[in-house]
Amino acid sequence: MIRPFGFNEFLFILTAVQWTIALSAIAFCGGGLGGLGIALARTSSMKLLRLVTTGYIRLFQGTPLLMQLFLVYFGANIFGLPLNAWIAALLALSLHASAFLGEIWRGCIQAVAPGQNEAATALALNYRDRMRYVILPQAARIAVAPTVGFLVQLIKGTSLASIIGFMELTRSGQIINNATFEPFKVFGVVALIYFSLCWPLSLLARRLERHFARSTAR
Amino acid sequence: MGYTFRFEPVFERFDQLLEGAWLTIQLSGSAMLVGLLVSILFALLKTSGPRPLAWLVNAYVELIRNTPFLVQIFFIFFGLPALGMRLTPNSAALLALIINFGAYGTEIIRAGIESIAKGQIEAGFALGLKRLQIFRYIILKPAMRAIYPALTSQFIYLMLTSSVVSAISADDLTAIGNNIQSATFAAFEVYLVITLIYLFLSIGFSSLFKLVERVAFNYPLSR
């Protein structure tokens, strides 16, 4: 039976936003933790560590996110684990985010003037203290704008989790579309919901970027 | 861990995979070419067009850049036929990629246009260069150089994004992978090989683009 696209259908789609937000938030946290490790390894003095993390970043930046999702989803089978869309989506998106955030934050760490590191070394601070009290606080300031920018990319990326059967905004749209056959309205609404999540973040990122550019200009 | 990998059925179909890679290159290449024309037109409208048109272009750019490609392609493939516009999966995929690339390309080209300092053009006139020479050496080449890195990495991003068109069963590398997967049930193996092909393509293209950059823009930067 074909249902009309009414308020209940709209509500069904709207409540699915929570899973998009949850998936984005968890993947962002997981990716943030991993990304910090990657960024530190990428800027470390050990060549092997730099080499391995460079390869890791290349791998994730050079392959489609959809394939990364598929590999994690079907890869669970190898370890005898059941196929689970939740775990696969979370793991794949976290790994994906860690590579991208790692590369963004590497740039931010390297953008801190080298004299800062030299001065901290001259003050006999060890690596941990140099990073914790001198380098990372300054790098964090530079990192805010591009990190918010990446968050937009991540939220959009979570839509691909619908392809492995994860129930979120896009998947709920497909379900309602199959019941109502009103694709124009349904996907229009889905697109507008994504837009209202992402656009404010994009504006914020741009504003932060301008703010930062002004405050560092001589 | 009692899993036995089965790569033979995948490698038996390697010719199909190569064909899929070629489909992906064709699809993203043609989307880039048409998308570039759209971008140039829209960037000109945005920087120097009449106000309402500039506003429309801006709305298009923001709308596309802040929604997922998967939703855009669903909207085009399922939504447009509801308005009486019939599309095959392949043409819907191409259209969606062009529209998507156009938004990012518009921003890149606009930045390129704005990177040319006015004094540079005036200096050209002062040196007695002809109009065409000024356009070619003072506007076009430096602008091309300024946007080249962003444009080429956007192409690679487009190629990786194009794997999503398999969701509406348009022909591309990922769709070929889905076919092989349903024929062999060796899901992980198929997608691992496909992922490596994508990696090979993106590394190959980015090396090629770097090579071209070194040959085409080999003059020193000012400052």
The CATH number assigned to the domain holding B181 equals 1.10.3720.10
- Has residue B76 been placed in a domain? yes
Domain count, chain B: 1
Composition of chain A by helix, strand, coil, percent to 5: 85, 0, 15
Q: Is the pTM of this model over 0.80?
A: yes
* Domain residue limits at B107: 9-216
Instruction: Say whether B194 and A67 touch across the interface (CB within 8 A).
Output: yes
Taking the C-alpha atoms of residue B25 and residue B97, their distance in angstroms, rounded to an integer, is 13
Chain B residues within an 8 Å CB radius of A190: 71, 74
Cβ contact, residue pair B75, A187, below 8 Å: yes
State the average pLDDT for chain A: 94
User: With contact defined as beta carbons under 8 Å apart, do B163 and B173 qualify?
Assistant: yes
Task: Find tokens 């991993």 and name the residue.
Answer: A34
pLDDT of B136 over the 90 cut:
no
Whether the Cβ atoms of residue A90 and residue A23 lie closer than 8 Å to each other: yes
B66 touches chain A (CB under 8 A): yes
**Is residue B222 pLDDT above 60, yes or no?**
no
Amino acid letter, residue B105: G
Q: What mean pLDDT comes out for the span A66-83?
A: 90
Each residue's pLDDT tens digit, A124-142? 999 999 999 999 999 999 9
What H or E segment, with its residue span, contains residue A92? helix A85-111
Q: What is the pLDDT of residue A217?
A: 63
Q: What is the mean pLDDT of residues B129-154?
A: 88
Q: A77 vs B187: CB contact, 8 Å cut-off?
A: yes
Q: Does B72 touch chain A (CB under 8 A)?
A: yes
Per-residue pLDDT of B182-212, as tens digits, reads: 999 889 999 999 999 999 999 999 999 999 9
Confidence of residue A37 (pLDDT cuts 50, 70, 90): very high
Residue B222 lies in a domain: no
Selection from A189, A174, A156, A152 nearest residue A66 by Cα: A156
Whether pLDDT at A90 is above 90: yes
- Domains, chain A, with CATH or none: 7-216 (1.10.3720.10)
Q: Searching chain B, which residue's CA lies closest to the CA of residue A67? A: B195
pLDDT digits (tens, 9 = 90+) for B70-101: 999 999 999 998 888 889 999 999 999 999 99
The per-residue pLDDT for B221 is: 65
CB crowding A63-74: b at 16 or more within 10 Å, else e: bbbbbbbbbbbb
Could you say which residues from 172 to 211 on chain B have a Cβ atom under 8 Å away from some Cβ of chain A? 174, 187-188, 191-192, 194-195, 198-199, 202-203, 206
Flag if B82 and A78 touch (Cβ within 8 Å).
Answer: no
Across the interface, whether the CB atoms of A62 and B2 are under 8 A apart is answered no
Mutate to test the interface with A, among B195, B198, B207 (most CBs of A within 10 A): B195
Chain A hits for B2, Cβ within 8 Å: 80
Asked if the structure places residue B223 within a domain, the reply is: no
**Is the predicted pLDDT of residue B2 greater than 80, yes or no?**
no
pLDDT of residue A3: 82
In total, chain A counts a number of residues equal to 218
